[in-house]
Structure 1
Amino acid sequence: MHKQKSNDTKHIFGYLRCVPKYTYQVPVLLFLSFLCINAQTWTAFSPDSSLRIEAKQDIISAIASGQKNCYFRVLLGENAVVDWSPVGVKTSDQDFVTDLTFVKQSQTTIDETYPLPSGKRSSYRNNCTELVLTFSNKNDRQVAFYFRAYNEAAAVRSELMGSGSTQVSGEVTGFTFASGSTGWGHKPNDDEATFDQFSAGNSASSYGIPILFKTSNAWALVTEAAVYGDYTGCHFASKSASKNVYQIAYPSGQGAISGSLPWKLPWRVAIVGNSLGPIIESSVVENLNPPCELTDLSWIKSGRSMWSWLSQNTGDMAQQKRYVDYASQMGWELNLIDDGFNRSGVAEVCQYGSQKSVGNELWYNYTEVNTQSKHNSVSQQCRSWGLKSLKIDFIYGGDGINYNNNIMKWYDMSAKSLADNKLMVTYHGCTVPRGQRRRWPNIMTMEGVMGYEWIGRGYPSLSHNCMLPFTRNVIGPMDHTPVLLTLGQLTNGSGSTRTSTDAHEVALSVVYESGIQHFADRPEGYSGCIGNNFLKTVPSAWDDIRYIDGYPGQTCILARRKGNDWYIAGISAVAAKTMTIPLSFLKAGSYTVDIYKDTTGSSKYTMTKTTATINPSTPLSLWVNTNGGFCFKIPDSYQVPVSIRSKERNTIKNFANMNHRNHSLFVSDGVGNGLSLKRTGNVFTIQGKSLPKGETISRLPSGVFINVDKKNR
């Protein structure tokens, strides 16, 4: 990790942070460190200065009448996306909320990269400004509040200082949204539910994570990150006196939590953007987690998996071998042996799979692995059988809660036990992810979603499918078990005929991200599908993501990249219409592609493969049926990042008041070729890449990068 530290409290204009180890996009060069406005107000700017967090001590009667507490807010430009929000924590014997005395401040720039074997991208960049404000209470006990300003997110956490031990009884930290803002959420401890729309501030209410908000001028998704066995998972709740303030709340029955000092509590996160793109593309939940515990990741392999349980139950040895055969035929990496299989035959299925280059996964009930000794025994046995991964299901305690302190302790133990035996895992019947795959990358996916197991048991309308990319899948991998093509009745209940088109289903293989993608249909369902060849090549781990268009619950169009190939897919839950897909992010050239789409004017299920020639300068228009979709692969279309270079160095010259949106950044290659770039709204070209008028430099076209030598700051 590269860090730069400063305790300066003056305005710092035109400060250009340049680290030679990295190649930066232009907006990353526009950096402003935090500044202290007065003794009790502080500000932290994101690396590109587009986002800022302001913190202060004040009396806000609408939140805590008559109490001088600590607050923060989050702004994009001059617009407050998150209004003044409380921060603080209480222990069994100390109050770190009211009448605190400011002690000191510090500031750190965090800029690091790390790889993961699955996820939205293969290389993650954790780049933010971290402001730490330390306070003491009336008993001279200290607390530190951490604020991290990312280009697309704000995060806050508390650290209890000192030594010894204590018990945390609760937090007041939360997020305030303007009353009347639109929200989408679900009840706590009910992650297998729909995200229902509500009006912020309308009533006192509680919601599980994540919650999506649409304010008058922006979007925000709130969640938590870095929750492990020293704490509890939480949800958000508003009170009758402050209905639009969504504060951290413990799960039902969770008492005070014991821990050792110093003690850093989990991160509370708001991912924000003027559009939905920064939210969908964000990896901040992983970035806020601790670094990987493992040194060898070579055995962790993302994959696509055959799964018989939903369409035909688990069956016997012959059926599992048939599913292994089909996985091999499709080039898929895994087969999941689910509940009901006689485990005396597991080793035989694994040996058979190895001959076909197909690994196997095996289902376990949480009660079989809910202690350290039981888990270690199972992990060792599964390794000896030759399994690659486990699926652990029904992860909750006797009280039915799936995210309290005891369950979080179990996740720590489970991930380590599995990693010690080089086993990957799917957690099912569980809570949602909180970024743990950075620390334990063998966690390939988690359910925590109303997926296709609910077909026949009350699966909702297709608006649910179009809501998940903007909510649940933002915060981590999602074991939805998509791409279900069989139209008849399924084994898990009556009334199970789907309402999506074939093209919608195949598109889900791109739209939904999961480190192991469990395909829910039987071999006959895929072999008879026009999209069979597409499903043979679609990856389960990606190098990059790009949001194209959509609206929660209505439509979603995404692009994901693997190597030099872009995959573009869209799904719809609205009436038939023509969708337009801009392609300006592609490398210059002409591409002939196979497009899998709804058959124009046909019955609701039919899919057609058409061949089209596309190019970056011409948007593509496709007719999409009701509840329809489309997908296609564009080979060798990735624009590799280019740099403005000279033989010796690049020259970056900044103007006074760099943070002002009307001022410019001058870029020169050192040999007379220079460009003056406006912060927003300018039309310019770098190496032939054009930025349309009205876009900000934080959304530069792919490939616009500048190498900067640290000595030229």
Structure 2
Amino acid sequence: MNTFRYTFLVFLVAMAVSVHAQRLYSPNKKIELSLSQSTEKPGNWFLSVYYHGATKTPVFSQIKLGLETQDQSFTDQLSLKKSSKPVPIHEQYTTLHGKRLERANEAQEITFTFTNAKGSTLNVVARAYNNGIAFKYEFPEKSEGTWVMKREATAFVVEEKAERWLQAFVTSYEGFYPAQKETIQTGEWGYPALFKTGDQNPCWTLLTEANVDRNYCATKLSNRQNKSSYQLEYPAATDGNNTGPVNPTLTLPWSSPWRVAIIGQLADIVESTLVEDVSKPSQLTKTDWIKPGVSSWVYWAYNHGTKDYKKLCEYVDLAARMGWPYTLMDWEWDEMTNGGTLEDAVAYAKSKGVKPLLWYNSGGAHNQVSSGPRDRLTTPESRAKEFAWLKKIGIYGVKVDFFESDKQEMMRYYLDILEDAVRYELMVNFHGSTVPRGWSRTYPHLMSMEAVYGGEQYNNQEYMTSKGAWHNTLLPFTRNVIGPMDYTPVAFTNSQHSHTTTYAHELALAVVFESGIQHLADRPAGFDQLPDPAKFMLSELPTAWDETRFLAGYPGKEVVIARRKAARWYVAGINGEDRSKNVSIPFHVLEKGKTYRAELMADADYDSGFNVKYLTIKAGDTLDVKCLPRGGFTLMMQEL
């Protein structure tokens, strides 16, 4: 009897552990996820992810799991107690700005429940979407007090032959995404990270995180210990001018941010809304004050232009002429002279039907930037006073700069600003910031974030002169995938350092890049010199899209993107290479049986010219467009 009971218990344990061997598939069966226990280190667990395209491709042979708190380990000696049955996730929601108005959020979800050596419980909740996977950790038990997290053991193992495009980590996320193929570099890397696995039937993967809240910090990737294993790491102690603790403090019950991998073909990457899909829905009931749109911007051409009332008024007049709803009054507005104060400039803008936006230094001990105004938003009391004044004088949104840290206290500061801004109906744009982590869904008045080596870099370094076009063709596959991007595009004239992109390339950036508020960079003379078709396109430019489709391209070479607003399609392409080429546009996104009138603005024979053509196009047609080196084109289409 004892032998039988022992054998039966062993059988039950084996059955419990074998439950993990069931595979979780996405609704379309293209993504496969499974849980396994290490044979070398029993009690250590990992996920494996495969993509079923033309062939079965390993995306991550292992995603190592685990957490360590101040007094407990959840990295080894873990026992799998149970795994839930797969649960379908069906969710539909509508956005106010972004790639797509109507979102469908569908997945299969499974929860694995572990206990550690002390009997404490850890859940791993995993989802398989049609275009990727996401997972998070949970401490489901309630407990008094707080827990300090020591480290997160999550690590993504990528096959050595995979090609990768990674940005070396800096707190501002401003840098390039050079390809790594023959030689894999080691170091610290910022999100998002792009990988290509396989040559004949490649699978693409973009790695990032989403739904960071007050109960955790943001993380980065490091492969310093193993070049093929990208470990999640907390911020450095020196970040944010050495302010704030590195290790996050948790209250229970607790959930981590989602660790997100967008998986599939390049269209799956570019068109994905997965970062926002897994993030917390908005609780706002009144949103009529949140209005996406185009803004004029004085800083690019005149770094200290906001000090000059008359110069600032020129940009108000530009917005009024072009039909743009906004103008941004950038840093040093508290030092305005030459005929008026900030209040005068705001009154002038309102008299022209233009809505002013205002810049702030985030202030505080986390940055040493002296430019003002600073230190006005650092406490709840100071924010309330400042935001009430902004509402009174007629400001519609704020641009807050220089955060310089991803520590938990900075995550809380971002969210404090967003939540306080709701009370005064102020839209928000973060600069010198972290990358988007799904907050635009939770807080739809978050219109954009910088976290990109953008147009203003022509003021700072010469790198954009030689690398700008190449860099621009990487961003739709990397940074702009995960959320709105305040690149500040479109400049036909030069700032401190010249650009070598063509006029048609610059015009196309207004469509290729997505941002809830699109700050167009050039000086008034740059826009005034444009031919009428280009002016009309910019005057009608949407910044919130009903649909976004990837048509063609490859990172660093070229990209063609189609975006739809109501019945009008905008198709834009850019050439990232230093050679002329024909770029082929397939029109499979158009509705069958309908004919569209199209206006094409492409490169002429010289870089400052436009070749304007009028065409008719049907679904299934293909159009070849000649692009100059670093050139581009824009196509506006509407049904006849």
State TM-score, norm by structure 2: 0.88
Question: How many angstroms does 1:200 deviate by?
Answer: 8.8
- Which residue type is aligned with residue 178 of structure 2? D
Residue among 385, 390, 394 paired with 1:382: 390
Give the 3-state SS of the residue equivalent to 1:96 in structure 2.
Answer: coil
Give the 3-state SS of the residue equivalent to 1:185 in structure 2.
Answer: strand
Rounded to whole Å, the distance in 2 between the matches of 1:382 and 1:135 is 51
Rounded to whole Å, the distance in 2 between the matches of 1:378 and 1:526 is 34
Give the 3-state SS of the residue equivalent to 1:262 in structure 2.
Answer: strand
Question: How many angstroms does 1:452 deviate by?
Answer: 1.1
* Residue equivalent to 2:29: 49
- Which residue type is aligned with residue 288 of structure 2? S
Structure 2 CA distance for partners of 1:157 and 1:549, relative to 1, 3 Å: same
Residue among 279, 289, 292 paired with 2:282: 292
Question: How many angstroms does 1:457 deviate by?
Answer: 2.3
Residue among 250, 261, 285 paired with 2:252: 261
* Residue equivalent to 1:480: 487
* Residue equivalent to 1:363: 359
* Residue equivalent to 1:14: none
* Residue equivalent to 2:19: 39
- Which residue type is aligned with residue 582 of structure 2? T
Structure 2 CA distance for partners of 1:36 and 1:580, relative to 1, 3 Å: farther
Q: Deviations over 1:157-178 (max 9, x none)?
A: 1111312231111111122211
* Residue equivalent to 1:391: 399
Q: Deviations over 1:272-291 (max 9, x none)?
A: 11x21101100000011111
Rounded to whole Å, the distance in 1 between the matches of 2:347 and 2:96 is 25
* Residue equivalent to 1:647: none
The answer as to whether partners of 1:200 and 1:244 remain within 8 angstroms in 2 is no
Question: How many angstroms does 1:393 deviate by?
Answer: 1.1
Rounded to whole Å, the distance in 2 between the matches of 1:246 and 1:162 is 30
Rounded to whole Å, the distance in 2 between the matches of 1:192 and 1:120 is 22
- Which residue type is aligned with residue 67 of structure 2? V
Rounded to whole Å, the distance in 1 between the matches of 2:130 and 2:155 is 20
* Residue equivalent to 1:178: 159
The answer as to whether partners of 1:307 and 1:520 remain within 8 angstroms in 2 is yes
- Which residue type is aligned with residue 575 of structure 2? S
Residue among 595, 605, 609 paired with 2:600: 595
Residue among 573, 576, 581 paired with 1:577: 581
* Residue equivalent to 2:229: 245
Question: How many angstroms does 1:201 deviate by?
Answer: 8.4
* Residue equivalent to 1:350: 346
Rounded to whole Å, the distance in 2 between the matches of 1:604 and 1:323 is 26
The answer as to whether partners of 1:305 and 1:334 remain within 8 angstroms in 2 is yes
For the pair 1:127 / 2:106, whether they are aligned, the reply is yes
The answer as to whether partners of 2:362 and 2:402 remain within 8 angstroms in 1 is yes
Q: How does 1:554-565 map to 2 (within 5 A)?
A: 554-565=557-568
For the pair 1:72 / 2:82, whether they are aligned, the reply is no
The answer as to whether partners of 1:347 and 1:386 remain within 8 angstroms in 2 is no
Give the 3-state SS of the residue equivalent to 1:261 in structure 2.
Answer: strand
Rounded to whole Å, the distance in 2 between the matches of 1:175 and 1:414 is 33
* Residue equivalent to 2:7: none
Give the 3-state SS of the residue equivalent to 2:38 in structure 1.
Answer: strand
* Residue equivalent to 1:545: 548
For the pair 1:224 / 2:225, whether they are aligned, the reply is no
The answer as to whether partners of 1:543 and 1:563 remain within 8 angstroms in 2 is yes
For the pair 1:635 / 2:628, whether they are aligned, the reply is no
Question: How many angstroms does 1:239 deviate by?
Answer: 4.2
Give the 3-state SS of the residue equivalent to 1:209 in structure 2.
Answer: strand
Question: How many angstroms does 1:271 deviate by?
Answer: 0.5
Question: How many angstroms does 1:583 deviate by?
Answer: 0.9
Rounded to whole Å, the distance in 2 between the matches of 1:636 and 1:590 is 6
- Which residue type is aligned with residue 373 of structure 1? E
For the pair 1:154 / 2:133, whether they are aligned, the reply is yes
- Which residue type is aligned with residue 262 of structure 2? I
Instruction: Compute the RMSD of aligned alpha carbons.
Output: 1.8
Rounded to whole Å, the distance in 2 between the matches of 1:417 and 1:386 is 17
Give the 3-state SS of the residue equivalent to 1:373 in structure 2.
Answer: helix
- Which residue type is aligned with residue 270 of structure 1? A
The answer as to whether partners of 1:395 and 1:429 remain within 8 angstroms in 2 is yes
Residue among 298, 301, 304 paired with 2:294: 304
Residue among 298, 315, 333 paired with 1:341: 333
Q: Deviations over 1:421-479 (max 9, x none)?
A: 10001111111111101111111000000111110422331211111111000011111
Rounded to whole Å, the distance in 1 between the matches of 2:169 and 2:81 is 37
Question: How many angstroms does 1:95 deviate by?
Answer: 1.1
Residue among 164, 169, 187 paired with 1:188: 169
* Residue equivalent to 1:470: 477
% same residue? 33
Rounded to whole Å, the distance in 2 between the matches of 1:39 and 1:617 is 47
* Residue equivalent to 1:437: 440
Q: Deviations over 1:268-319 (max 9, x none)?
A: 111111x211011000000111110311111100010000111132242223
- Which residue type is aligned with residue 579 of structure 1? V
Rounded to whole Å, the distance in 2 between the matches of 1:36 and 1:441 is 43
Rounded to whole Å, the distance in 1 between the matches of 2:207 and 2:315 is 40
* Residue equivalent to 2:72: 94
Give the 3-state SS of the residue equivalent to 1:412 in structure 2.
Answer: helix
Rounded to whole Å, the distance in 1 between the matches of 2:553 and 2:343 is 46
For the pair 1:202 / 2:198, whether they are aligned, the reply is no
Question: How many angstroms does 1:39 deviate by?
Answer: 3.4
Q: Deviations over 1:234-268 (max 9, x none)?
A: 0011243x321112111111532211111101111
* Residue equivalent to 2:499: 498
Rounded to whole Å, the distance in 1 between the matches of 2:207 and 2:183 is 16
Q: How does 1:414-429 map to 2 (within 5 A)?
A: 414-429=417-432
* Residue equivalent to 2:241: none
* Residue equivalent to 1:624: 627
Q: Deviations over 1:53-75 (max 9, x none)?
A: 1112223x5xxxx3531111111
| Number of matched pairs | 583
Gaps of 5+ in 1: 1-34, 397-401, 638-713
State TM-score, norm by structure 1: 0.79
Rounded to whole Å, the distance in 2 between the matches of 1:370 and 1:276 is 41
For the pair 1:373 / 2:378, whether they are aligned, the reply is no
Gaps of 5+ in 2: 1-14, 238-244, 364-374
- Which residue type is aligned with residue 516 of structure 2? G
Q: Deviations over 1:539-574 (max 9, x none)?
A: 111011100111111101000110121110000111
Rounded to whole Å, the distance in 2 between the matches of 1:375 and 1:199 is 48
* Residue equivalent to 1:662: none
For the pair 1:234 / 2:219, whether they are aligned, the reply is yes
Give the 3-state SS of the residue equivalent to 2:223 in structure 1.
Answer: strand
Rounded to whole Å, the distance in 1 between the matches of 2:342 and 2:382 is 19
The answer as to whether partners of 1:180 and 1:202 remain within 8 angstroms in 2 is no
Rounded to whole Å, the distance in 1 between the matches of 2:432 and 2:249 is 27
Rounded to whole Å, the distance in 2 between the matches of 1:199 and 1:629 is 27
